[in-house]
Chains A and B, each alone.
Chain A
Amino acid sequence: MTAMKLTGYADKFSVHPGDKIKFYVNCNGPKDYTAQIVHMINGDTNPRGPGVIEPPVKADVNKTYPGRRQIIHGGSYGYVPDSKFFHTDSFTLQMWIWPTIPKTDKRYWKHGAQGLITHWSGGKGYGLFINETGALELRIDGVTISNGLKLRDHAWHFIAASYDAATGKAVLYHEPQVVYALDPVIEPVEALVTGITHPAVPLAFGGYVAEEDGAPKKTAQTEHGYWITGHYNGKIDSPRLCKGALSRLEIEMMKAGSQPAMSERRHAGPTNALADAIVGAWDFSDGINTLEARDHGPYLLNGRFVNCPTRAMTGYNWAGHNFDWKHAAGEYGAVHLHDDDLDDARWEVDFEWTVPEDIKSRFYAAKLTTSDGDEDYIPFWVVPKLGAPTAKIAVMVPTISYMAYANEHVASNAGAAEVFIYRTPIMQHQNMYLSEHREYGGSIYDTHTDGSGLCLSSRLRPILSIRPKYDHFLAQAPWQYPADLHLICWLEQMGYDYDVFTDEDATYDGLARLSPYNVIITGSHPEHNSGPQLDALHNYTQRGGRLMYMGADGWYWVHSYHPAYEDKGRGVVTEMRRCESGIRTWRANPGEYYHQGTGELGGMWRYRGRYLHTVAGTGMSSEGFDISSYFSRTPESLDPRVSWAFEGITYDEKLGNFGLVGGGAAGLELDIVDTMLGSPPHVLTVASSAGRHTESYLLVMEDYGFSQQGIDGTQHPRVRADIAFHETPNGGGCFAFSSIAFCGALPWNNCDNNISRLVGNVLNRFMADGPLPAAPAEATMPRGRADWESPAIQLAG
């Protein structure tokens, strides 16, 4: 039942009218499939809602296409094209390794030997491996040499091997850098080998050539013509290849690698004598923000990494004094390879659509179906060309957040998922498929198959979580993409005209993308953001723009698009590191907080001095995933500055005690006003859900410093959502609705409800031309606690 016979992706998230978009489809089994472009309006199958709404769009690609199977070759590795210098009779290999799963379960998806540095194919050549028992192994043609000792995981080992063709003597060195009291002394292992047959294949780091015959195959999926298998999980640092069999002392000296750059030292090696031996001395601390595997040896045998391994990783020599690779690159020579890394599925194109010039800017998808009932959707967004807006309203689609959650495995990987959702997770067929097909890559919420944190996510792959008809285990309801369709459904039903643009567009175009609109509406959970995007939002609201923040837990994590993928389009790979605070499903290791792509400090924007509350007025305070609640108005909602938002709504009404996410408008993740964390001092808190949340709702950990009781929804006053309004300069304003579940209430009862009325009042006011009325002078307040004296203090006085 885990089979999904149809999966696919497009080369773009965001496409302009008149531009082309390519679609890649895997149709595994059925002889053909039909594509239909649809306008996505609602993707929620809940029978209490309007149901799926996806009107067809006339398009010349609406056809039946022959089906073909397309598979993904996941797993990162490095390679150097074959060179005559690799065909050496005698050799010495050396490197540091930090393996993460040297021994795997027999049922593990890639159980078997792992290549470390290999010039090897079909039983010919040489290389260092970890064999399937978890021991280090030297292979020279059909001969394997090992001490049989299991490698320690998550620990640095220096390893080396030499082979002297004249004597036939091969030596394998295995030197753990951590030695515990009871560890045996590990002596080098020696063996006699008759010789090497050199295959004409690339040199590989973290894998080996799969082709038994050593012959290249032409395919879109390999830039060098070979499949690589035997993917290694763990870090590698400073690999060296020398011709000739070096002594242990010479190997020790060769750790220094190539040492050029001084006029007094004109040789390539640590000594003049050893300079002649160097074939390659790769230095992965050079080019951390690239996909290059640079060689500092004399022949410049530069290679490339495929499937984007994690770089900016602490090396064997990291000492805990430097934390930013940009200032201590020499301690960041390690690359962490994973067998489930994926940067691009690299499929063949199945069809390409030239988007009509006169099409509306909306959510769209290529709906794929077969006559057997198989189905998949490939969502995309038609975005106006820059400077050519077609509406006063724009929806900013949180595509970085979609990428952060892309293909997440938390329900099946993390036992603790139940503890925070307070029920047993429900896996949809997409989750079942992904649980078997790890090659589709995970999300930034996941750990890799080796247990390390996953900090890079690509959009060039089928992303089965960005789909209609998909309930997420966290909510037992739509989440992210399908949840944002609740908002789209409401806009459509209410007859608003609007444009859409994505996080990519905001990041690359800045204020120019935002400024044409009177109002910008966010998605339900814009949690993951780039710096340029936050700059654009601030610039927009400061200059009179109006922002409707339709959800919660926004503006939380630092993201950056990896610059090495600019040639494949905008925003192909996004990066994020989970540092020392915030809600984290994994935690980055010490010294690994800086992005490999841009070099910026990762983690929460809060710890970069950009408090989330500054963007739209409220910021994340708590989360819980069982059921939602509702809002009540506060006296501040009667203030003439904001009372217009409540026209048609009585003061005592329960606001949003209904909805398609958790059964209420206040739920999942909740934001509050806090002027000490960046909410502006003149902000008006107009409604709150205080006191009504369940025990599953817990305060965010960044708001307290000591593990303590009393942080749940039945006890803690900061477990609440606050709906808030404030004016921004030049006639701008922000309305924050502060709950991820909020948009789920909009379509309720055919959009005839008090949440719909509230949002409609705000949107009508915000979309109008001209500045909003300025706040009266008496609304001005100094910042912070100076504005407030606790009644408790007054009583004490």
Chain B
Amino acid sequence: MISIPKKGTPERQRLIDEYKKCMDSMKGVAGNSTLVCPTPGDVTDVTGGIHEDFLLNRVLIRMRAQPVKGKLIVICTKVEKEWRIGRLSGIRGVPPVFVADQVYDDEQMIQFDIFLMRLDEMEERDGYPEHYSEGWKRRDDNWAVT
């Protein structure tokens, strides 16, 4: 599997810069992708991001495939106005909880902060044999399915 670039490496900074560029350009779009709109807020043409940076593409898929328990989520607290980061419980009937006090006034840039949090939370070799647990036999193998 693709490794998560370590803190302080140029690769990691490259991913962060590209991701931020994508989210900046997606402001105003009724949707979101990790791609760059050359005309901000207009998806007529899109470029860069996951289509051109292979490492960013694969790291994002690995982050997104994490199991539901403890997974970060966006919670809209005021329609079209405010969003906050939460964490899923993974237990039916137990709602997500907020993980930070920061309130975002944009639904795209909050995705960027989640990306940064995940970079810090995920180990470089997340999901390799050294992380084996009995859960791998019980469908808790770091690969979420519907």
A interface list, Cβ under 8 A from B:
1-2, 45-48, 105, 107-110, 340, 410-420, 422-429, 432, 435-436, 438, 449, 469, 471, 475-477, 584-586, 625-630, 654, 657-664, 667, 694-696, 714, 744
Contacts and interface: CB of A to CB of B under 8 A. Distances in A.
A469 B79 contact: yes
Contacts of A108: 91-94
B66 A415 contact: yes
B9 to A, nearest CB: 24
A438 B93 contact: yes
23 contacts: A1-B77, A2-B95, A46-B30, A107-B91, A108-B94, A109-B94, A110-B93, A411-B73, A412-B73, A414-B146, A415-B144, A416-B144, A419-B65, A423-B111, A427-B96, A428-B76, A627-B26, A628-B43, A630-B44, A661-B30, A662-B43, A664-B44, A667-B31
Contacts of B42: 657-658, 663
Interface stretch (B10-18, B80-88, B126-134): B80-88
B32 interface: yes
B34 A422 contact: yes
B2 interface: no
A435 B51 CA distance: 34
B59 interface: no
Nearest to B23: A423
A107 B91 CA distance: 7
A586 B66 CA distance: 18
Contacts of A625: 31
B96 A662 contact: no
A702 to B, nearest CB: 16
Contacts of A469: 79
A414 B68 contact: yes
Given A414-B144, A663-B43, A664-B43, 20 more contacts: A1-B77, A411-B73, A418-B65, A419-B61, A423-B33, A424-B111, A425-B73, A429-B77, A432-B75, A436-B95, A438-B93, A475-B30, A476-B32, A625-B31, A627-B26, A627-B32, A629-B43, A657-B43, A663-B29, A663-B31
Contacts of A661: 30-31
A458 to B, nearest CB: 19
Instruction: Report which residue of A449, A663, A667, A714 has the largest number of chain B beta carbons within 10 angstroms of its beta carbon.
Output: A663
A740 to B, nearest CB: 12
A412 B88 contact: yes
A446 to B, nearest CB: 10
Contacts of B44: 630, 654, 657, 664
A774 to B, nearest CB: 39
Given A110-B93, A415-B144, A744 B68 contact: no
Contacts of B145: 414-416
Contacts of A449: 92-93
B55 to A, nearest CB: 14
Contact of A696 (B33, B73, B114): B33
A424 B114 contact: yes
B108 to A, nearest CB: 9
B46 interface: yes
Interface in B36-85: 41-44, 46, 50-51, 57, 60-61, 64-68, 71-77, 79-80, 83
Contacts of A436: 93-95
A435 B73 CA distance: 13
Contacts of A110: 93
Q: DSSP class of A's interface residues: helix, strand, loop or mixed?
A: loop
Size range of the chain B interface in the assembly: 35 or more
Contacts of B83: 426
Contact of A432 (B50, B64, B95, B111): B95
Contacts of B107: 426, 476
B146 A417 contact: yes
A426 B33 contact: no
B82 to A, nearest CB: 11
Contacts of A476: 30-32, 107
Contacts of A429: 76-77, 79
A2 B84 CA distance: 13
Nearest to B118: A424
Given A432-B95, A664-B44, A418 B64 contact: yes
A626 B33 CA distance: 5
Contacts of B66: 415
Contacts of A667: 31
B25 to A, nearest CB: 11
B73 A427 contact: yes
A435 B96 contact: yes
A736 B71 CA distance: 39
A476 B32 CA distance: 8
Contacts of B94: 107-109, 435-436
B146 A412 contact: no
Contact of A424 (B31, B72, B89, B95): B72
B50 A415 contact: no
Contacts of A105: 91
A775 to B, nearest CB: 35
Given A416-B146, A424-B74, A695 B43 contact: no
Nearest to B62: A419
B35 interface: yes
Given A662-B29, A663-B43, A416 B65 contact: yes
A48 B64 contact: no
